């Protein structure tokens, strides 16, 4: 017996079976699933033309479509303004009420998370590759292209190949100054950028269970860098508590079967693990941060932002280190909260003032410097310490520019000293 | 979709991510005719000016990793690329290409089979890629029916259009 009968299902298999109305699925099987939530950001503008070419007139369920603009907010180029305009017009014409426009804006994944748009058991798709982040709700959440999104808007369905699942089982306790970001970097160092291509990654074990929802978002977010279709944490009491007041749709929580069949299991023990850093030019080029710090890597820019790490918890953590300190001379430090809600919280808690007094630039919420097309762009010989998720050549501007990925605490420590610094030295 | 695709190849290395195909600064451009001028600006700068319709792109592992930007396969399609062959693809790139009706074929060892400018022949149903200069060929696993149907129809737009017409939700053109 190979696949098929008698073995249990992983969480992704359970969710995909449910979405297709089947009792059982096997890896490799092509299914057509009902979509619970469809999210579009600026790339959704490219959905409008194929939607019309398909002959579609109505969106299958306007209550399950969210539009959030985030890459260029407010529009920083004429091209971006046109994308926003196309989306506004489409939303008005098709009667799509859940539009997070300039003023209510935030990074699309954060908008989905903090407004309870994705709930346990869901099949969610979005026009951005980091849609994987929402897997932290115990859902299958995957990025798709805009033509595919047009088909989803028309049909409410999507074809998917059932992925094999890799289990990443984490145990041990994260030490002081060591964060979920360090953990996911460590995992990436092992799985590598192609290690989970076409696959689902299920994060399990006591350490994962001990993480807060924001920390789980950070972990699932960077599953994208492993090449995965989706990454997820099974729902538990923390998930239900997080969603209790905000869930937009009824939950249908699922768990992996006890005898689920994983393609591979990876064990990670975090006891004694130091902070980690991904060096240029790949997110899997991961080294212990103290080792890199000994090489006195000088930086020109620091960035505390992106869907990976710009939640209120991240900014508070950074602020705790920033308090009473100054941004190092010659360093530009950009802080960009992940949503307008988080921006308001920062305002209330005095964090905007704290960072501004220290010499940082505190921006409105957006993708900001993360992708090299909006602001905070790097010149060829420059180096940046960033809490974001990608450091490919050209990611933040010039293709020669170097990006080091690290935790928010490490970014702040580095901004203060002007060179890559172990945040534990600052505490 | 033609069953036999022939063309001159361009070769690329591994991990050519979407930033190297269409860099972030061109993301607000949605006209494929404009996009095609910037394709592979980082990975293969001489490509955009010299590519001819029908050319075939050959890459090593993990082609198209990174973002979900459809700009990447759109630009390749606009410039007239006949097929993308790679040792392996990143998943969104693979889906995007097929959904646009651009054949994306995963074949282990395909990068090593070619040098720049070699003539290639791809037999879609037989599952075979040949370097016409050297005469060497390699097999590739059968493309699932579902995807062949998509390519056959010319991509997802046509497929969905037919389905909506069949379901009475769209008027025949
Ligand atoms: S913050 Fe960066 S990674 Fe996240 S959605 Fe925006 S551009 Fe993409």
Segment A337-378, tens digit of pLDDT: 999 999 999 999 999 999 999 999 999 999 999 999 899 999
Tell whether B82 is covered by a domain.
yes
User: Is B149 part of a structural domain of the chain?
Assistant: no
CA distance A54 to chain B (A): 4
- Nearest CB among A46, A151, A393 relative to B70 is that of A46
Using only the alpha carbons of chain B, give its radius of gyration.
16
Cβ of A392 within 8 Å of Cβ of B19? The answer is: yes
Is residue B148 included in any domain, yes or no? no
Q: Is residue B19 part of a domain?
A: yes
Rounded Cα gap, residues A311 and A181, in angstroms: 13
Cα dihedral A205, A209, A210, A212 sign: positive
Q: Is residue B121 part of a domain?
A: yes
Instruction: Name the residue facing A148 among B24, B61, B99 (closest C-beta).
Output: B99
Strand pairing class (B119-123; B4-11)? antiparallel
* Angle made by CA atoms B130, B133, B138, in degrees to the nearest 5: 20
Look at B42 and A147 and tell me if their CB atoms are within 8 Å.
no
Sequence spans of domains, chain A: 11-268, 277-426
Q: Do A159 and B146 touch (CB under 8 A)?
A: yes
| Nearest ligand 1 atom, CA A108 | 5
Please tell me the class of the A11-268 domain.
Answer: alpha beta
Stretch B134-138: mean pLDDT:
97
List B residues 19-78 in contact with A (Cβ-Cβ < 8 A): 19-20, 23-25, 27-30, 42, 61-62, 65-70, 73
Distances (CA, A) of A368 to A55, A64, A297, A362: 36, 27, 24, 11
Q: Name the percent of chain A lying above pLDDT 90.
A: 96
Contact A139, A120 (CB under 8 A): yes
Q: For residue B171, is it within any domain?
A: no
For the domain bounded by A277-426, which CATH number is listed?
3.30.499.10
A207: tokens are: 């350490």
- Does the pLDDT value for residue A1 go beyond 50? no
A160-186: per-residue pLDDT in tens?
999 999 999 999 999 999 999 999 999
Count of the separate structural domains present in chain B: 1
- Closest atom of ligand 1 to A109 CA is 5
Q: Which residues line ligand 1 (CB under 6 A)?
A: A 70-71, 107, 128, 130, 306-307, 367, 370-371, 388-389
Q: Which of A148, A164, A396 to mutate to test the interface with B (most CBs of B within 10 A)?
A: A148
- Domain enclosing residue B73, as ranges: 4-142
Q: Are B87 and B13 in contact (CB under 8 A)?
A: no
What pTM, to 2 d.p., does this model score?
Answer: 0.93
> Is B114 a domain residue?
yes
Say whether pLDDT at B169 is over 90.
Answer: no
Does any domain span residue B18?
yes
Q: Report the C-alpha gap between A284 and A405 in whole angstroms.
A: 10
Q: In this structure, what CATH number is given to the domain that contains residue B107? A: 3.20.19.10
**Whether the Cβ atoms of residue B9 and residue B118 lie closer than 8 Å to each other:** yes
> If you measure from the C-alpha of residue B132 to the centroid of ligand 1, how many angstroms do you get, rounded to a whole number?
43
């Amino acid at each position: 017996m190979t696949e098929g009968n008698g073995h249990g299902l992983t969480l992704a298999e359970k969710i995909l079976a449910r979405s297709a109305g089947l009792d059982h699925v096997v890896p490799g099987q092509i299914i057509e699933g009902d979509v619970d939530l469809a999210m579009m950001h600026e790339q959704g503008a490219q959905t409008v033309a194929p939607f019309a070419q398909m002959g579609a007139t109505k969106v299958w369920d306007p209550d399950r479509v969210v539009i959030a603009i985030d890459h260029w907010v407010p529009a920083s180029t004429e091209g971006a303004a046109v994308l926003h305009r196309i989306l506004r017009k489409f939303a008005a014409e098709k009667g799509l009420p859940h539009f997070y426009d300039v003023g209510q804006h935030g990074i699309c994944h954060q908008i989905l998370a903090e407004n309870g748009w994705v709930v346990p058991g869901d099949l969610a798709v979005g026009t951005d590759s980091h849609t994987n982040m929402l897997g932290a709700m115990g859902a299958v959440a995957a990025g798709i292209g805009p033509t595919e999104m047009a088909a989803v808007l028309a049909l409410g369905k999507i074809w998917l190949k059932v992925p094999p699942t890799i289990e990443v089982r984490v145990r041990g306790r994260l030490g002081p100054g060591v964060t979920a970001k360090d953990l996911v970097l460590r995992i990436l160092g092992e799985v590598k950028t192609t290690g989970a291509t076409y696959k689902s990654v299920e994060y399990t074990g006591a350490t994962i269970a001990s993480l807060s929802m924001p920390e789980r978002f950070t972990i699932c977010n960077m599953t994208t860098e492993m090449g995965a279709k989706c990454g997820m944490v099974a729902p538990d009491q923390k998930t239900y508590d997080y969603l209790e007041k905000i869930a937009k749709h009824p939950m249908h929580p699922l768990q992996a079967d006890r005898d689920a069949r994983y393609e591979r299991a990876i064990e990670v023990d975090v006891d004694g693990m130091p902070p980690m850093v991904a060096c240029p030019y790949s997110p899997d080029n991961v080294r212990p941060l103290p080792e890199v710090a000994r090489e006195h890597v000088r930086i020109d820019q620091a960035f505390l932002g992106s869907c990976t790490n710009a939640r209120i918890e991240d900014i508070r953590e950074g602020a705790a280190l920033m308090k009473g300190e100054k941004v190092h001379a010659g360093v530009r430090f950009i802080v960009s909260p992940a949503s307008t809600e988080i921006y308001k919280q920062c305002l209330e808690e005095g964090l905007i003032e704290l960072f501004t007094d220290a010499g940082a630039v505190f921006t409105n919420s957006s993708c900001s410097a993360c992708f090299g097309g909006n602001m905070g762009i790097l010149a060829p010989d420059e180096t940046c310490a960033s809490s974001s998720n990608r450091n490919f050549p050209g990611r933040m501007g010039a293709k020669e520019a170097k990006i080091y990925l690290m935790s928010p605490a490490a970014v702040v420590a580095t901004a203060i000293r002007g060179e890559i610094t172990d945040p534990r030295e600052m505490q | 979709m033609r069953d036999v695709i022939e063309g001159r190849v361009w070769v690329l290395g591994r991990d050519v991510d979407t930033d190297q195909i269409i860099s972030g600064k061109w993301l607000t451009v949605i006209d494929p005719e404009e996009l095609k001028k910037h394709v592979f600006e980082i990975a293969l700068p001489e490509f955009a000016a010299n590519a001819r319709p029908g050319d075939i792109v050959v890459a090593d592992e993990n082609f198209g990793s990174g973002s979900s930007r459809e700009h990447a396969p759109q630009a390749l399609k606009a410039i007239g690329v006949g097929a993308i062959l790679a040792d392996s693809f990143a998943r969104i790139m693979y889906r995007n290409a097929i959904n646009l009706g651009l054949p994306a074929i995963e074949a282990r060892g395909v990068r090593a089979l070619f040098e720049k400018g070699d003539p290639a022949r791809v037999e879609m149903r037989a599952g075979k890629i040949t370097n016409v200069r050297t005469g060497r060929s390699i097999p590739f696993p059968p493309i699932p029916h579902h995807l062949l149907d998509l390519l056959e129809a010319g991509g997802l737009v046509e497929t969905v259009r037919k389905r909506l017409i069949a379901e009475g939700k769209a008027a025949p053109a």
